[in-house]
Chain A
Amino acid sequence: MTARWRLGLFAGAVLILTAAAGVIAAHMPAFGVPASHYGPAVNAIIPAARHATNMVAAVNFDVRGLDTLGEECILVCAATGAVVLLRGARGESISADAGRVPGRAVLRRTDATVILCRIAVSLTLVYGIYMALHGTITPGGGFQGGVVIASGLMLVYLGDGYALWRRMVPSVAMALLEGGGAFLFVAAAAIPLALGGDALANMLPLGQPKDLFSGGLIMLANDCVALSVTGSFGLLLLEFMEETRSPAEDPVPDEEDP
């Protein structure tokens, strides 16, 4: 298919899409008026029933907890698939040396970069952990906190270089976090099931509203997800960085096309 044909096909698709979007937009529920009873019901019932104040986290980890379990599995599968694809072509061996472009000068980092990154790493990690732990009561949660922690780890690379980053963030630890977090989440769903209740039934003490230890299972599930997301994203960043090394340093078994 040539570019001209493809553009023609796209123009046809846009015509249909425009007509359909116009009709659908005219028939959508009025903007700014609650369209379903589900959300308002959650807002009315859950704060008293679960002692949680962050309704988004309560929906994710309590009301629709099973859906989040599926989402967590999608995340773990996608991260594992990405790692397998990268390692399959590169081999298992990993090295603590960064890739070098031949002929490009290696500049020393300035002291300001190092000190700023070290300060920023500690602040980012603390903020990420705070965000994950307080997911039940204030905006945030396991997914957001995990991503903040994983990106904080990249600052170690920026400030202290590849070798120290690889020593501080071993891929085995990231893999254990990823799998362990997901396993704990599955266990949190399965244990109430084994005790004769429903999956992810909130059987833990609910605590006081607005307290760190409130919401029962919501906080626990949040923290499992935070561990798993930290591991997944840490592992992904690490494997992508391994790609920057030139293939000559690490000969690939010959399975290329002839």
Chain B
Amino acid sequence: MSVAPWLVSAWLFAVGLYGIATSRNYVHGIGCLTVCQSSTYVLLLSIGYSWGAGPPIFYDHPSTVPAVDPVVQALVLTDIVVGAAVTALLLVIAIQVHKRRGSLDPDALRPMRSQP
């Protein structure tokens, strides 16, 4: 039971990796990358969790009440923000590739092959 969160995280990462390996479209590949990334959210939040603890926000209960680890939650926030920015950048690059080459299929885009 106590290994379940780690296995869920590994499973999410593997699913995203499978999507990237078999992707036939870069937009789909970018979506798969965000699935890979969400495995890190599960991992970080699982590390910070403790049984019977509340949220690390002491507005309506005093700070002596047990609370989960706020450091990993802040890390997840960083993770999400940077992930969103990088996803936007990748999508822009995908748009440019589509404009120049008219395709987003990785198999049709061989950069080192001379154009026919």
Q: Are A59 and B81 in contact (CB under 8 A)?
A: no
Stretch at the interface among A49-57, A96-104, A116-124, A188-196: A49-57
Is B21 a contact partner of A85 (Cβ separation < 8 A)?
Answer: no
| B31, CB-defined interface residue at 8 Å | no
B57 and A54 form a contact (CB under 8 A): yes
Across the interface, do B69 and A210 meet the contact criterion of CB distance under 8 Å? no
Tell whether, in the assembled complex, residue B50 and residue A33 are in contact, meaning their CB atoms are under 8 Å apart.
Answer: yes
Pick from B14, B67, B89, B99: contact of A89, CB under 8 Å: B99
The reply on B108 being an interface residue by CB < 8 A is no
Is the interface on chain B under 10, 10 to 19, 20 to 34, or 35 or more residues?
35 or more
Q: Are A32 and B50 touching (Cβ within 8 A)?
A: yes
Q: Is the Cβ of B86 less than 8 Å from the Cβ of A39?
A: no
Kindly identify which residue among B2, B46, B55 contacts A139, using a CB–CB cutoff of 8 Å.
B55
Partner of B92, one of A7, A58, A82, A141: A82
| Alpha-carbon distance A2/B42, docked complex (angstroms) | 33
Chain B 36-55 interface mask (CB, 8 Å, partner A; 1/0): 00000000001111110001
Given contacts A68-B78, A71-B82, contact A55 B70 (CB under 8 A): yes
- Known contacts A34-B69, A40-B69, A71-B78: does B88 contact A82 (CB below 8 Å)? yes
Number of A interface residues in the complex (CB < 8 A): 65
**A59-96, CB < 8 A from B:** 59-60, 63-64, 67-68, 71, 74-75, 78-79, 81-82, 85-86, 89
Any chain A CB within 8 A of the CB of B112?
Answer: no
Contact of A3 among B10, B14, B22, B55 (CB under 8 A): B22
- Known contacts: A28-B6, A34-B50, A35-B47. The answer to whether A13 contacts B56 by CB under 8 A is no
Query: Does A213 touch B at the CB level, under 8 Å?
Result: no
CA distance A105 to B95 in the complex (A): 26
B residues near A60, Cβ cutoff 8 Å: 74, 77-78
Given A44-B63, A59-B70, A85-B93, A32-B82 contact (CB < 8 Å): no
Asked whether B21 lies within 8 Å of A6 as measured between CB atoms, the reply is yes
For B7, what are the chain A residues with a Cβ–Cβ distance below 8 Å? 21, 25
A137 to B21, CA, bound (A): 44
B: residues with CB less than 8 A from A are: 1-7, 10, 13-14, 17-18, 21-22, 46-51, 55-59, 63, 67-74, 77-78, 80-82, 84-86, 88-89, 91-93, 95-96, 99-100, 107, 115
14 sample A-B contacts, Cβ–Cβ < 8 Å, listed by A number: A6-B22, A14-B17, A21-B6, A21-B7, A28-B6, A29-B47, A31-B1, A43-B70, A54-B57, A55-B67, A64-B74, A71-B78, A81-B89, A137-B59
